[in-house]
Amino acid sequence: MALKIRLTRIGAIHQPHYRVVIAEARSRRDGAPVEMIGTYDPRAKANGFKVKLDRVDYWLAKGAKPTDTLHAMIKRARRAAPLAEVAAPVAS
């Protein structure tokens, strides 16, 4: 069972919106996923990519391979993640 981390299109015509999913490598682009781990809105001005990095790490450890596009996007999200954690206010 070869797994891929890839994008599934869910947007309307001329309004693309994608889900980041774990799916069988041989399944259709919009076929049933194993798990949904995030979303991507290419039309968003800022931060259109949201992904659960802990689930990405879990599936990478299980042998899932990201597509080239998602590999770059996940790398970018990892660089931005520490900034978000530092910038978040601490409740006291």
Q: Which helix (H) or strand (E) holds 66?
A: strand 65-66
Return the CATH architecture of domain 3-87: 2-Layer Sandwich (3.30)
- Across the chain, mean pLDDT equals 86
pLDDT at 46: 81
Q: Would the pLDDT of 90 be above 70?
A: no
CA 32 to chain centre: 16
Domains in the chain: boundaries:
3-87
Q: What is the pTM of this model?
A: 0.80
Question: Quick one: average pLDDT of 17-41?
Answer: 89
Inter-residue contact 47 to 67 (CB < 8 Å): no
Residue 13 burial (CB < 10 Å; 0-12/13-18/19+)? exposed
pLDDT at 92: 58
Distance CA 71, CA 25 (A): 16
Inter-residue contact 75 to 49 (CB < 8 Å): no
pLDDT at 86: 52
Percent of the chain with pLDDT over 70: 88
Inter-residue contact 10 to 19 (CB < 8 Å): yes
